[in-house]
Structure 1
Amino acid sequence: MPRLSDRTRLIASATRRGEGRRPVNPPIERASTMLSDDPASMQDATPGPIYGLDGTSAARELRTALADLEGASEAFLVPSGLAAVTVPLLALLRPGDEVVTSDAIYGPTRRFLTRHLAARGIATRFHPADSSTADILALCAERTRVLLIESPSSLTFEIVDMPALTAACRTRGVLTVMDNTWAAGLALRPLEHGVDVSVQAITKYVAGHSDLLMGAVAVQDCEVARAILHTIEDMGWHVSPDDAWLALRGLRTLPLRYNEALKSALLVAEWLQIQPEVERVLFPPLPGSVGHDLWRRDYSGGAALLGVVMKGGDKASAHALMSALDLFGMGYSWGGFESLITHETPQLAHRLYKPDLPGQLLRLHIGLEDPADLIADLENGLEAWRALQDSNLQHPA
């Protein structure tokens, strides 16, 4: 029988036979203490978890489904997307080691590198977000232990040649860790391209309803898996059974939500790029956009997350546009059913290599609303932008 598609497999794992009468979804078992029938079996994990930290039915089924999705031998759950990044770094790095990563890395990840790890003798080298493969590899020195990849990068959406980087790193003995939240383990499987550790924020697309925090770490190599498991055990990380159950429920519909949102995002991006107030749209699935050629080669889909570079403007202009919108929530995160907008220009100040943007940077997450309604809402926002720009021209400060 040929391998089933992702959308079929993620549901088929719930309807498998041979386990007797049972609910479609596993029960929620809220438990810390697990009881045994006799003293000899108390340390035997074969019948099930020995203690609540080991994870009960929903968490175990979620781990199995995520490992299958990512093509991994093991998938681990941690309490947040940030923890999914930090746990492998803690597991694989020691004082005196170095990390190489993009200057456009996710802000909290950057903070962990420059604050927590730096204080413990682990250095980080940042490369410009648009660096070539050769330039990135040139930064990998004798002490470099991990190349941390986030592709597309945060806010400005540059894509690196991940297969080329992982192949070169493997020959140099450098481990690769990739934040794959944008592809959700669905549009790209990093482990199939030689990445050692694939992480994602389950908070985003897998959960899909903006109502929980969780991360996942997927690995293939047994030694790397053991190091990550030991770190999770030693740190005492755990996810609640309720959250695991909700994430598992979201996972069943992930392909449908992910692909539908991408269709809408392309419509919105195509409309935005022809608006006179917009300088350019940063969205790899959009022809002509940053990273499009590599996206087309390596990815089978994409997140409905895009950057909008305006022509000029200032903070007041960006806020006027955002305030005029009714359908876009103003909030951080993405991957839920709802559309969101954030003003990201201030975040760029943390970078060592500032991107050359001629105006304000807005980030849009396109949800599952009708794209025609979202476009009409954005037209109202652009009208507010234009009104403030005209007022500034008539009454300069």
Structure 2
Amino acid sequence: MDLSNILYAYAEDRSQYFNAIAPPIMQTSNFAFRKVEDMSRAFEDEMSGYLYSRGINPTVDILRKKLAALDGAEDALVFNSGAAAIFASVLANVKSGYHILSVDNPYTWAKKMFDIILPRFGVKTTYIDGRSVENFRDAIRPNTALIYLESPNSWDYAMQDLEGLAALVKSINATRASESPSDKPSPQIITICDNSYCTPLYLQPARLGIDISLQSATKYIGGHSDVVAGVISGSHAMMKKIFDSEYLNIGSGIQPFNAWLLIRGLRTLPMRLQQISATTRTVIEFLKGHPKVEELLFPLDPSFPQFELARKQLSGACGLLTIVYRTEERAEIVRFCESLKHIMLAVSWGGHESLVIPRCAGIKPEHFDATIREHRMVRLYIGLETADYLIEDLRQAFT
């Protein structure tokens, strides 16, 4: 489907709402029926119509259909945060006694789910270096039911070979399906990939064989730092499974107004990513030549350790990059970040504004160790400002 059609026309039936160019915000909690039979059908399958906005809402419906199409997937669900999307998609696919395989150091709230919540219910997680398919092959157990990926992640941008891993899982699942029934049959393995770094414009995990593509729509999809949301996409059967259980039960669906803000954000997504990507390349050239930058990490820079995989798997890499600051003192990193006048000290990325966050902000000063490379990492997000404007700010802060 053509990208312009997805962003500007698909799933929008303007004749249903007075031919308004922008879709309306259906700010309603519930929907009325003329016939009991119609209400009964809605009770049987909330995903097939409009009953209660905890489930499906017309404004949300437009958004989820667009997001599924962007991902090259059959269907999608939209949540009130990325953390909620992670929670529901994982919880729907594990049960007591199952095993999860996750990449090292996943997103904070994914890791807390794996380390604190799921062990209470008999689900264990193993963390591995996901840069090699062989590492997954070696770590899969008979009770492994889910593989959790981030490609790239949001600090050092470690990637996984999604196509190679999907082929491995498909082979294992086929073998498991052919095994003789037993008291404890091995589960089919489900793959989940967090695609928040790239957006569906630059990477579509579903097209590479991944079961569930996940992203924080707070980032580039929203694009204005004014809405928090998460999205998962995949087969209709998988989305229905999650919708009927975790999505409805937890009540973590997005609200109509926030869905409308995301539809608005989608209208300018390609142009924003194009501008951000161009500015990022210029800022990278400045940073690579600065004496205070020991190392620069960006997936589509030739110096990146997985550059060949990045070039094969990604069609773009947007505006998130990391520098390893050349210093022996935490205080110098703090001074640099606090001296920036226009680049703001804040979490997240994907909005109009450029941001910075030092890794040492999450490390107690007494635990800072300059010999540990990660302690000296500073992550920059390049927004919609001009390159000259940002470079001048970086230059004066380094000074």
TM-score with structure 2 setting the length: 0.88
Alignment counterpart, residue 217 of structure 1, candidates 219, 228, 232? 232
Structure 1 residues 79, 15: CA separation in 2 closer, same or farther (over 3 Å shift)?
closer
Instruction: Identify which range, 229-238 or 257-266, moves more after superposition.
Output: 229-238
CA positional deviation for 1:156: 1.0
Alignment counterpart, residue 190 of structure 1, candidates 205, 210, 215? 205
Distance of 1:320 and 1:158 partners within structure 2: 28
Name the residue aligned to 1:64: 65
Q: How does 1:93-108 map to 2 (within 5 A)?
A: 93-108=94-109
Alpha-carbon RMSD: 2.2
1:187/1:300 contact within 8 Å kept = yes
Q: How does 1:38-57 map to 2 (within 5 A)?
A: 38-45=35-42, 48-57=49-58
Amino acid at match of 1:194: G
Alignment counterpart, residue 270 of structure 2, candidates 255, 274, 287? 255
Name the residue aligned to 1:234: 249
Which runs of 5 or more structure 2 residues have no equivalent in the other structure? 174-188, 365-370
Name the residue aligned to 1:300: 315
> 1:301-336 CA distances to partner (integer Å, 9 max, x unpaired)?
113101110112332111100111111111111101
2:17/2:23 contact within 8 Å kept = no
- Give the number of equivalent residue pairs: 374
* 1:373 partnered with 2:374: no
* 1:32 partnered with 2:21: no
Amino acid at match of 1:381: A
The secondary structure found in structure 2 opposite 1:185 is helix
Q: How does 1:302-321 map to 2 (within 5 A)?
A: 302-321=317-336
Distance of 1:206 and 1:321 partners within structure 2: 30
Distance of 2:342 and 2:75 partners within structure 1: 39
Distance of 1:144 and 1:167 partners within structure 2: 16
Name the residue aligned to 2:163: 163
CA positional deviation for 1:17: 7.2
Structure 1 residues 245, 302: CA separation in 2 closer, same or farther (over 3 Å shift)?
same
2:14/2:20 contact within 8 Å kept = no
Instruction: Identify which range, 93-102 or 33-42, moves more after superposition.
Output: 33-42
Structure 1 residues 232, 47: CA separation in 2 closer, same or farther (over 3 Å shift)?
closer
CA positional deviation for 1:185: 1.5
CA positional deviation for 1:158: 1.1
Structure 1 residues 135, 360: CA separation in 2 closer, same or farther (over 3 Å shift)?
same
> 1:239-263 CA distances to partner (integer Å, 9 max, x unpaired)?
1111000011101211111121111
Structure 1 residues 325, 346: CA separation in 2 closer, same or farther (over 3 Å shift)?
closer
Distance of 1:51 and 1:359 partners within structure 2: 48
* 1:276 partnered with 2:291: yes
Distance of 1:307 and 1:209 partners within structure 2: 22
The secondary structure found in structure 1 opposite 2:9 is helix
Distance of 2:120 and 2:313 partners within structure 1: 37
CA positional deviation for 1:186: 1.4
CA positional deviation for 1:58: 1.4
Distance of 1:8 and 1:363 partners within structure 2: 35
Name the residue aligned to 2:178: none
1:204/1:210 contact within 8 Å kept = yes
The secondary structure found in structure 1 opposite 2:373 is coil
Name the residue aligned to 1:132: 132
Distance of 1:290 and 1:347 partners within structure 2: 25
Amino acid at match of 2:354: S
Alignment counterpart, residue 344 of structure 2, candidates 326, 329, 342? 329
Name the residue aligned to 2:114: 113
Distance of 2:12 and 2:78 partners within structure 1: 23
1:185/1:200 contact within 8 Å kept = no
1:98/1:123 contact within 8 Å kept = yes
Amino acid at match of 2:28: A
Amino acid at match of 1:168: L
Amino acid at match of 1:238: G
Which runs of 5 or more structure 1 residues have no equivalent in the other structure? 350-354, 384-397
Q: How does 1:334-345 map to 2 (within 5 A)?
A: 334-345=349-360
1:105/1:154 contact within 8 Å kept = no
1:314/1:359 contact within 8 Å kept = no
1:99/1:148 contact within 8 Å kept = yes
Distance of 2:36 and 2:59 partners within structure 1: 26
Name the residue aligned to 2:149: 149
* 1:289 partnered with 2:290: no
2:154/2:197 contact within 8 Å kept = no
